[in-house]
């Protein structure tokens, strides 16, 4: 594989997600039916459709698409994540997903091969999101639905920097959570017009979040302190607040969708 991500960055991806795979698959906040449905509803898969889920991870979106489409490709760079995805498919009796090891920047598929192209919670791991988006648009047929779902950073640059600092410390394979206007701009620059945007929050207790993380130098105490200190002035724009069970905070996320023009 020779991704647009640099070699060092791709090593960080594979290192993090090989370690995260089991915990990631078990994250109820990410894989609850109503959360996965935000992407599936935006993609509107039809029974005759071929769909592709870029950076499919442990497979919850690909499996949900597969229950409504003819066939699905789930593509990811990290074998340990794909192993979890295969297990999920077999537990759910989903037989129409082809799991492929690969790179979102350079897929082996012909132009216009898919009726649906999705990618969830991966763009903040990409050094060149516009190039990955161009690959989604390339493999999408005219009339196909294209959905990018990701967490995003505050429009306030200081709060965005604080959130990204916490996230890079928590998961060094994070490049940057971009802003919602940046994500919208991907669609507009690619000629897809203004996307439909569905916003939602994914919320965690800081202690649970830290317990399943693999932060820099294994320093969970520092990660917890970064989140707790953001309560003051909502310094990460993540709605962090104290509760009797400790600090709770949210990832701001959105599913953005558009149809590839026919002409
Ligand atoms: C946070 S996980 C999201 C997984 C899944 N999309 C979901 O929402 O549950 C990010 C995934 O992106 C994958 N990834 C990162 N860079 C990639 C690349 N260049 N090509 C393919 N997959 C990549 C990682 O291996 C990881 O599985």
pLDDT in tens, 98-134: 999 999 999 999 999 999 999 999 999 999 999 999 9
Ligand 1 mean position to 70 CA, how many Å?
A: 23
What value does the mean pLDDT take over residues 146-161?
A: 98
Q: Residue 170's Cα: distance from chain center in Å?
A: 16
User: What is the residue whose two structure tokens read 């800081």?
Assistant: 206
Does 18 score more than 60 pLDDT?
yes
pLDDT at 3: 43
pLDDT at 2: 41
Per the CB < 8 A criterion, the answer to whether 62 and 74 are in contact is yes
pTM over 0.75: yes
What value does the mean pLDDT take over residues 135-158?
A: 98
**Quick one: which atom of ligand 1 is closest to the CA of 132?**
19
DSSP symbol at 191:
T
> 181-191: per-residue pLDDT in tens?
999 999 999 99
The reply to whether ligand 1 has any atom less than 6 angstroms from the CB of 25 is: no
From 31, 77, 127, 151, the mutation candidate for ligand 1 (largest count of ligand atoms within 8 A of CB) is: 77
Q: Under the phi-then-psi rule, with left for phi > 0, alpha for psi from -120 to 50, and beta for the rest, what region is 116?
A: beta
The reply to whether ligand 1 has any atom less than 6 angstroms from the CB of 76 is: yes
Q: Where are the beta strands (DSSP E) in 26-108?
A: 50-54, 71-76, 97-101
From 57, 107, 172, the mutation candidate for ligand 1 (largest count of ligand atoms within 8 A of CB) is: 57
Beta bridge partner(s), residue 142 = none
**Quick one: which atom of ligand 1 is closest to the CA of 21?**
27
User: What is the residue whose two structure tokens read 């898969």?
Assistant: 45
Q: What is the CA radius of gyration of the chain?
A: 18
The reply to whether ligand 1 has any atom less than 6 angstroms from the CB of 36 is: no
Does 4 score more than 70 pLDDT?
no
Q: Ligand 1 atom 14: the closest Cα is on which residue?
A: 55
pLDDT at 6: 75
pLDDT at 14: 93
Domains defined for the chain, CATH in brackets:
7-156+171-204+251-259 (3.40.50.150)
């Amino acid at each position: 594989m020779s991704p647009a991500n640099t070699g060092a960055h791709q090593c960080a991806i594979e290192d993090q997600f090989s370690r995260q795979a089991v915990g990631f698959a078990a994250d109820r906040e990410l894989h609850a039916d109503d959360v996965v449905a935000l992407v599936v509803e935006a993609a509107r898969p039809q029974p005759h459709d071929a769909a592709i889920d870029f950076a499919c991870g442990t497979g919850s979106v690909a499996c949900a698409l597969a229950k409504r489409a003819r066939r699905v490709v789930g593509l990811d760079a990290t074998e340990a994540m794909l192993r979890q995805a295969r297990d999920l498919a077999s537990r759910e009796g989903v037989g129409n997903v082809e799991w492929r090891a690969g790179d979102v920047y350079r897929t082996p598929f012909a132009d216009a091969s898919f009726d649906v192209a999705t990618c969830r919670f991966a763009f903040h791991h990409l050094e060149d999101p516009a190039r990955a988006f161009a690959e989604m648009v390339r493999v999408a047929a005219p009339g196909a639905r294209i959905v990018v779902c990701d967490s995003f950073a505050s429009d306030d640059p200081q709060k965005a920097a604080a959130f990204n600092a916490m996230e890079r410390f928590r998961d060094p394979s994070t490049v940057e959570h971009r802003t919602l206007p940046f994500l919208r701009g991907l669609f507009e620059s690619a000629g897809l017009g203004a996307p439909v945007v569905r916003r939602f929050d994914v919320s965690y207790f800081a202690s649970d979040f830290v317990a399943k993380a693999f932060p820099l130098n294994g320093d969970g105490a520092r990660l917890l302190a970064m989140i707790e200190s953001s309560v003051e002035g909502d310094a990460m724009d993540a709605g962090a607040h104290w509760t009797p069970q400790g600090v709770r905070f949210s990832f701001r996320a959105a599913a953005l969708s558009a149809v590839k023009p026919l002409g």
